[in-house]
Amino acid sequence: MAELEPKKIISLMSGTSCDSIDAGLCRVNPDLSCELISGINYKYPEHIRAKIFQLFSGDASIKDVCQMNFAIGKCFAEACKVLISEFGKPDLISSHGQTIFHYPFDEKIDNVSLKSTLQIGESSVIAYETGCPVISNFREADIAAGGQGAPLVCFADDRWFKGKNVAIQNIGGISNVTVVAKDIDTFGFDTGLGNIMIDYCVNKYYGQSYDKDGRIAASGNICESWLDCLMQDEYYFKNPPKTTGREYFTKQYIENALRFAPKNSEDIIATVTALTAKTIASAYERFVYPITSIDEVIIGGGGAYNTTLMNMLRCYLPKHIVLKTHEDYAISNNFKEVMAFAVLGYCSYYNIPNNIPSCTGAAKRVVLGKITAA
């Protein structure tokens, strides 16, 4: 194996909220520490974003998937060019891509597994447009090894927080946790809804893309009976390893849930915000505390900026647990996953196994990611 050297990597991430392409220029060191040099949120063109949501909903053709693979690749390349224009070319680009479907279930047809995932944003387009080698398609190798292809950020969490007893909680469209403790192997799973249902309801009732600072939620009252009903979904009771996404929490899923919602729209936003917070706390009660103790919960992702959500989570967590954000550890709340995928890309480049089977359920450690030459 080549001797490890520091690398400058542009890392690209677009999550289930699809609010922007998060692009960060990072310096990754041989000890897998990572410094964010600069990060941007590159907005999708309006009609491209609308088309992505058609892909999410299944209201799209194979032609649409084919075209959007290249169109999103071009958007990712344009995000890279913004950083390249200021800082010059990186050593490589690490692209998570845009997940349009994730199916981590052991369904079979003719005794052939249908477990699968699809992230689009053609790496050949990014490589051609930027002149940089691109590492992409991280999730497939884990699924090939019998895993669920997620969560992958656990690998970076394990490196960055080892030696502590902490839960590292990302709240994006979906919420996922990594549990790092001194007495157990690191493990992680998707706790369930993050911002998907909040954002959907805020858009439906207020025409806004998200609830800034949780202000709408703060103005309403939690409908406890509806909240209790929402929390009975079978996903929340399923044992880890587990992962989920828009394929499960669909538009139809949310609309069905809203049939039983309170009439006041502020109360709806307050309750779905409480749902995110309470399902996180309940996941710890079911799957974390019986295995290990934790001293801190460290929040990242867009949910870290929702003051009402953070206050609710504080109320639902045991009092002895300290609630922090990634900023307390000099890690950007907004760009933490970007930094994590820079580390994953670095490992791919050097052929270092970069999944954690105790998080994904894979049969063994494998090298995630495929390299596209410039």
Q: Which domain holds residue 37?
A: 7-149+336-372
CA dist 218 → 16, 199, 270, 304 (Å): 24, 15, 7, 15
Same domain as 252, residue 231: yes
Same domain as 163, residue 123: no
Same domain as 237, residue 140: no
Same domain as 298, residue 205: yes
**Total count of domains within the chain:** 2
Tokens of 314: 């504080």
Same domain as 55, residue 28: yes
| 302 pLDDT higher than 70 | yes
Same domain as 107, residue 197: no
Same domain as 348, residue 276: no
| 95 class by beta-carbon count within 10 Å (0-12 exposed, 13-18 middle, 19+ buried) | buried
Q: Is residue 329 part of a domain?
A: no
Q: Is residue 330 part of a domain?
A: no
Q: Is residue 49 part of a domain?
A: yes
The string of pLDDT tens digits covering residues 328-338 is: 999 998 899 99
Same domain as 365, residue 265: no
What percent of the chain has a predicted confidence (pLDDT) above 90? 96
| Those residues with Cβ within 8 angstroms of residue 30's Cβ, 6 or more apart along the chain or in another chain | 4, 5, 6
| 109 class by beta-carbon count within 10 Å (0-12 exposed, 13-18 middle, 19+ buried) | exposed
Read off the pLDDT band of 1 (50, 70, 90).
Answer: low
Q: Is residue 327 part of a domain?
A: no
Same domain as 269, residue 351: no
| 17 pLDDT higher than 90 | no
Same domain as 308, residue 172: yes
**Distance of alpha carbon 28 from alpha carbon 8, whole angstroms:** 6
CATH of the domain at 313: 3.30.420.40
Same domain as 169, residue 52: no
Tokens of 106: 């052991």
Read off the pLDDT band of 2 (50, 70, 90).
Answer: confident
| Those residues with Cβ within 8 angstroms of residue 105's Cβ, 6 or more apart along the chain or in another chain | 114, 115
Q: Is residue 325 part of a domain?
A: no
Q: Is residue 304 part of a domain?
A: yes
The whole-model pTM stands at 0.92
Same domain as 121, residue 45: yes
Backbone angles phi, psi at 28, to 5 degrees: -110, 130
